[in-house]
Amino acid sequence: MSAIPVVGHIADIQGRPRMLWTQSLSWVLFLIGIFAYTQFSIVRHKENPEDRVIPSGAQLWQGIKASVLEPAEEDDALDPGASTYQRVTHSMLWKDTVSSSRRFFIAIALLIPAILIGLHMAVFPYAEAFFLRFVLFFDKIVALSLLPVLFIVFGIDELSKIMLMVIGVGPTLMLDTYNIAKSVPREQVVKAFTLKSTNFDVAYRVILKQIMPQVINSVRLNLKPLALFLFAGEMIASTDGLAYRIAIMRRHMGMDIIIPYLLWVAVLLFGMDALLRVANRRLHPWF
Amino acid sequence: MVLAARMVEEQTVAQTQPTPVEISLRGVSVSYAVGSTGRKPGVTKTVLSNLNLEILAGEFVAVLGETGCGKSTLLRLILGQEFPSTGMIVVDGKQVTRIDSRCGYVPQKYSLFPDRTMIENVMYGPENAYCGWLGRLLPSYRAFKRKLRIQAEEQLLRMGLRANDLNKYPHQLSGGMQQRVAIAQALMMKPPVLLMDEAFSALDPSTRASLQQQLREIWQESRPTVLFVTHNTSEALLLGTRLIVLEPHGDEPLKSNVLIDMPLPQSSDTISVRKKSREFQELSEFVKRRAYGSHSRYHGDQPGQETRSLGDSL
């Protein structure tokens, strides 16, 4: 008797690739990307050894070192005898990461009410009547078009950038939570009421608890739009932040700084997404 | 003839004994517009018409009928999930205006909270009833919860769950096990009325038979008023003390949907013995002929299936 074949045809829907295959395949596009970049860089550096558009490995390394260990141009220079820890915590990358993260997390905290409004819209008919039509309309307003209004109303400080993120992602998150909560079977609500639940119990202990994993997934999907609005705000009016630095470096053609910054932002978002995914799995083993 | 005489006799006995009315439906009709688009009104479809029912405390009423005859609507009306277009529904002495804990409810599926373990599902109701939000902050809450957990464990073990299943989530257990827990969950609240909407229809025959037996035993012990909606004639006849057969509403505006309303003969035999008796077979044929007429081939769970012996259908 033959064993079930574990390696199917490459276009076989029923194929069962081995673990080694799946792991290897998942890295192939990364390797192709690195290889293509290196080749382009080599070609450009052959033509012009001082090329800054596609920096070489050595230039990138210098850029990373400057970002991680040296303060920003606008800041005071560090004492030459400063420790590595001091260098890192006073560096350009650290300062920008802290500034952007602060804005990012404040915006996420301000989005919690959006989740609750979405839940209430789905559960309480009066809240649905009050909010739904307006939120559906408001969701269609392109948030970036509101940026001038936000700058006029909230000034060009932190608040306008945070509000841009909240206004940009809030309605989407509200509607997503609304749809998720609406998809909870009606039987669950009926059953809860027959088990002496109050309205509060049904909304928070039955429905919110059940939809929480999907809401967290929705937040995960909205991490990138949040970062997008943050970058838009920082690029237009800011004195620090990851996007501000990228905008400044663009003027100097500082690709040796821009590329590490782009990768750092991707790593941060990827890490946050992974953290939420693991938390979701741990907190909701039934999902 | 003997059977008919016996049914009349039992009906007379039931009428002479003063038993409190648990559920009362007075002139209940339900109709709604179908296919209305924008400003154009749709066709009005009547689901239930001029329904007058008095269900006595402790009765086990089996409700039969073809698809679309209003069985589930009837249940939703009694629950308070839907409201009649005309008429009034009274449960446990009070008019039904909203869903509350007077009625226990076991639907066909989605009965359990997926984010709670089996034991937590069963404890959910009593915790709400006796603690509330502030009660959970009291020092006595832990002792109460411990006691409640013991009761819930007993209830679940009685329903046939194993001890190591108690802390599993609903998706980790079979449909049959989930329905056992759903019944236990409803019974923990000791509701005066238990409404079951095709609660066993998604189960395999052996699980179904075992749950029927258990439900019958539970009913005999605590005598809640049960309204059991089913598609299965044999199930209705074996479990119920009274049978109501609904028919789809025709064109006559004031004609009631109730086609048959009769008491069922009771016996101390087990379900498996009863279903083989000649009396049961006769009654089953009678109901099928009256209820489904020319559609008498349809008496099981799956419409259109060939007629089988009643023993097979269970």
Task: Judge whether residue B306 has pLDDT over 50.
Answer: no
Provide the whole-model pTM: 0.83
Q: Which of residues 267-286 of B touch A (CB under 8 A)?
A: none
My answer on whether B140 and B48 are in the same domain is: no
| B27 within some domain | yes
* Angstrom distance (rounded) from CA B219 to CA A91: 75
My answer on whether B166 and B29 are in the same domain is: no
Count of CB pairs separated by less than 8 Å, A with B: 68
| B38 within some domain | no
* Angstrom distance (rounded) from CA A105 to CA A219: 12
* Angstrom distance (rounded) from CA A201 to CA A196: 9
> A185: which 2 tokens?
């079977």
| B223 within some domain | yes
| pLDDT tens digits along A240-270 | 899 999 999 988 888 999 999 999 999 999 9
My answer on whether B164 and B280 are in the same domain is: no
Inter-chain CB proximity A286 and B115 less than 8 Å: yes
My answer on whether B294 and B263 are in the same domain is: yes
Inter-chain CB proximity B104 and A194 less than 8 Å: yes
For the domain A92-283, what is the CATH code?
A: 1.10.3720.10
**Which of A195, A284, A286 minimises the CB distance to B101?**
A195
A-chain residues near B191 (CB < 8 A): 194
A-chain residues near B79 (CB < 8 A): 190, 194
Query: What is the interface pTM, i.e. ipTM, of the complex?
Result: 0.81
Task: Judge whether residue A159 has pLDDT over 60.
Answer: yes
Judged by a CB distance cut-off of 8 A, whether residue A191 touches chain B is yes
**CA triple A113-B113-A127, angle to 5 deg:** 30
By CA distance, what is A283's nearest residue in B?
B115
B-chain residues near A188 (CB < 8 A): 110, 113
Inter-chain CB proximity B99 and A193 less than 8 Å: yes
Q: Among A180, A184, A188, A191, which would you mutate to test the B interface (most chain B Cβ atoms within 10 Å of its Cβ)?
A: A191
Mean pLDDT computed over A31-60:
93
Helix ranges (DSSP H) in A183-222: 186-194, 199-200, 209-221
My answer on whether B221 and B139 are in the same domain is: no
B-chain residues near A186 (CB < 8 A): 81
Among candidate residues B190, B210, B227, the one where a domain is terminated: B190
Q: A234-238, B165-169, B227-231: lowest mean pLDDT where? A: A234-238
**Those residues with Cβ within 8 angstroms of residue A167's Cβ, 6 or more apart along the chain or in another chain:** A143, A146, A150
My answer on whether B221 and B181 are in the same domain is: no
Task: Give residue B310's pLDDT band: very low, low, confident or very high (50, 70, 90).
Answer: very low
* Angstrom distance (rounded) from CA B185 to CA B166: 13
| B158 within some domain | yes
My answer on whether B71 and B146 are in the same domain is: no
B-chain residues near A206 (CB < 8 A): 113
Inter-chain CB proximity B99 and A187 less than 8 Å: no
Specify the number of domains making up chain B: 2
My answer on whether B261 and B175 are in the same domain is: no
Q: A116-125, A170-179, B6-15: lowest mean pLDDT where? A: B6-15
- Chain-centroid distance of CA A256 in Å reads 23
> What pLDDT does A172 receive?
95
What is the CATH classification number for the domain harbouring B94?
Answer: 3.40.50.300
Q: Helix (H, G, I), strand (E, B), or coil: what is residue A100?
A: helix
Inter-chain CB proximity B171 and A286 less than 8 Å: yes
Among candidate residues B142, B165, B190, the one where a domain is terminated: B190
> What pLDDT does A36 receive?
97
A-chain residues near B110 (CB < 8 A): 185, 187-188
Task: Judge whether residue B258 has pLDDT over 80.
Answer: no
| Sequence ranges of the domains in chain A | 1-51, 92-283
| B39 within some domain | no
Task: Give residue B70's pLDDT band: very low, low, confident or very high (50, 70, 90).
Answer: confident
pLDDT, averaged across chain B: 80
Task: Judge whether residue A190 has pLDDT over 90.
Answer: yes
Mean pLDDT computed over B146-163:
90
My answer on whether B77 and B213 are in the same domain is: yes
A5 CA: distance to closest CA in chain B (Å): 29
My answer on whether B14 and B61 are in the same domain is: yes
**Which of B111, B133, B169 minimises the CB distance to A191?**
B111
Could you tell me the residue range of the domain that residue B55 belongs to?
Answer: 2-33+44-102+192-313
Q: A116-120, A146-150, B76-80: lowest mean pLDDT where? A: A146-150
Task: Give residue B40's pLDDT band: very low, low, confident or very high (50, 70, 90).
Answer: low
Among candidate residues B190, B207, B232, the one where a domain is terminated: B190
Judged by a CB distance cut-off of 8 A, whether residue A49 touches chain B is no
| B98 within some domain | yes
> What pLDDT does A169 receive?
95
Task: Give residue A134's pLDDT band: very low, low, confident or very high (50, 70, 90).
Answer: very high
Task: Judge whether residue B12 has pLDDT over 50.
Answer: no
Judged by a CB distance cut-off of 8 A, whether residue A190 touches chain B is yes
pLDDT, averaged across chain A: 91
| Longest Cα–Cα distance in chain B | 66
